[in-house]
Amino acid sequence: MNSLHMIFKYWLYSRKRFVKYVLFQMIATIFGLFIPIFIGNLVGQLDPNLPKEQQATQFNLIINLIIITILGVVAYFISRGARISGAKIAARAIFYIRQDIHGAIYRQSYSYFDKYETGQLIARATSDVEQTEGIFGMGLVLGIMGVLQLIGVNIATWSVQPNLAWILTICIPLSVIGSLFITKKLKPIYKESREAFGDLTNTIRENIVGAQVVRMFGTQKKEFKKFSENNMRFRDISILSAKYNSFFMPLNILLLGLMIILTLYFGGALILNSEMSLALLITFQSYIAMAIFPLVMLGNIFIMYVQADAALNRIREVLESTPDILEDPNPITKESINGDIVFDHVSFGYTQTNLILNDMNFHISPGQKVAILGTTGSGKSTIINLLPRFYDVKKGRILIDKIDVRKYKINNLRRHIGIVSQDTYLFDKSIKQNIAFGKDSANMENIENVAEIAGIRDFIENLPEKYETMVGERGMNLSGGQKQRLSIARALLIEPKILILDDSTSSVDVETEYQIQQALERVMKNTTTFIITQRISTIRNADVIMVLDKGRIVGLGTHDELYNGKNGNANPLYRQIFETLQLKQKKDIKSL
């Protein structure tokens, strides 16, 4: 689908109104085309060299003026009605294109956001859409009006004076060809302009989101230089586009002057040879004047189209992106699950050449608590990304209650899985809205219960606005531990049968963690729980400890089985990790 097809597609979301607009514009054009005829008659009758019986009387002048006025007024009101319809069509087109691009972003898989910079996506969903408003609005109103007027003027001039009609027939294509040549030069410039603006947006976003890091390392000058370079790139592209834009108006003024000179020269010759009257010359000259406006407008439409084309190509990349995670044609929906999990010869890598998990096999029974340990890059977080199908396995299969996760309806699968990550994200909403984010039907009793389990209820109750307190952007009004506990409450509210805790208590002290763990015990009795943690108490109390190394399971069992081993054969990697964590915990306690 090219940009022109895309433009008409969104125009035709208002199909009936679009047809109405074209009909109104055709009627307005027809009324307008009669005006030069009466102007010609009016001026022609003022020629003192005409026989007296052919000269205008005061009555004739008044009649001609009344007819011209009526035609102009009727054409105005019909054209105004058409413009109102055109404005509504444009507004609907922009509405739907915004809806579609945001819908396309929402349906993308996690891997999509690994490929695209956030700033570029923001630019496509905002600035690029704004760049299309001209073609959807004025492009519709002036484009169709201009085309209809030029066609009408051409037909009228051939009907009125074929001996001069060739002037318009030659000059109109010259104007169009000149406009097309300039727009061809502008096309790569506008494409570069949109890319430059996207980079500029991304730089601003990074420096706002990463403001603390920038100031911590004192790199403000370095980051400002980076911004300035992107800003200068955008400025230079804008100046270059303005240079080519400056050709349009002089080109059409030059053509207008040429048409007037040719009309006066050849028309004057025809009058001298008594082959044409002064009235016809004035009529023809009026049509020339009538043609210049649509010619100028079409030149502007070409510019609008090139600008829109650069933006629409970037928008289309998002709209036509296919999610990596596709839903089964006949997905399975389950009201509840048991939480029985099997990894059956699972292999996975974020790229085709680098596997993170390699032929992984394990079975977790419903309600078991699993602690995952391993060296950096061993695949701990990858396991928890595969369970809710944020990514799909490359080989093998993952079963939940003996059903491949790829068979489940995606939203239904994720509704049964609660995730609390170390990097907690909170929305700029109230505490109540953040806790209830995944369950609109939650009442205050539900919210207070999970807040109690997460160990944050007392803190909330002591706030002046309690659960209506705004947490600020990314939870900036809360401490790290408070954000994590709020995130735990949010995950628990959906009553998941599979709970994933990715180092979710790393920002709280040992005593608070103990309180949270005690409260969670009641919840985790009937919930299959995966915990990535560095807390010894959590590891020792796990039903199953999974030890990973280079994408493989090198140990699976209880603490005693792995630490002491059967017949004295302990798991060396587990023992090393456990003793390291034990030493670290002792140092932390001493430092207190």
As a dihedral over the C-alpha atoms of residue 452, residue 458, residue 459, residue 461, rounded to 10 degrees, the angle is 110
Distance CA 546, CA 552 (A): 10
pLDDT given for residue 586 in this prediction:
63
What pLDDT, in 10s, does the model give residues 404-453?
989 999 888 888 888 887 777 788 888 888 888 887 788 888 888 888 88
130-142: pLDDT as tens digits:
778 777 777 777 7
Quick check: do 3-319 and 341-591 share a fold?
no
Greater confidence (497 vs 301) lies with: 497
DSSP state of 52: G
pLDDT of residue 253: 78
Domain segments of the chain: what residues?
A: 3-319, 341-591
Containing 176, the helix (H) or strand (E) segment is helix 162-209
Q: How far apart are CA 172 and CA 146, in angstroms?
A: 12
E strand residue ranges, 326-461 = 341-348, 357-364, 369-374, 395-400, 403-404, 417-420
Least confident of 260-269, 298-307, 397-406, 583-592: 583-592
Each residue's pLDDT tens digit, 203-257:
777 777 666 666 665 677 777 787 788 888 888 878 877 777 777 677 777 887 8
Domain 341-591 annotated CATH 3.40.50.150: no
Contacts of 423 (CB under 8 A, 6+ apart): none
| Encoded tokens for 406 | 């790829």
Packed helices 278-319 and 248-272: angle between N→C axes, nearest 10 degrees: 160
CB-based contacts of 144, cutoff 8 Å, min separation 6: 21, 22, 25
The DSSP secondary structure of 456-505, one letter per residue, reads -HHHHHTSTTGGG-B--GGGTTS-HHHHHHHHHHHHHHT--SEEEEESTT
Token pair belonging to 172? 């109109």
Each as own residue / partner, the long-range contacts of residues 509-514 (CB below 8 Å, 24 or more positions apart, any chain) are: 509/481, 510/535, 510/588, 510/589, 512/455, 512/481, 512/485
d(C-alpha 178, C-alpha 247), whole Å: 9
pTM equals 0.68
Q: What 3-state DSSP class applies to 160?
A: helix
The continuous run of DSSP H or E covering 322 comes out as none
Q: Which residues contact 585 (CB under 8 A, 6 or more apart)?
A: 535, 536
Confidence grade of residue 39 (pLDDT, cut at 50, 70, 90): confident
Classify domain 3-319 at the CATH topology level.
ABC transporter transmembrane region fold (1.20.1560)
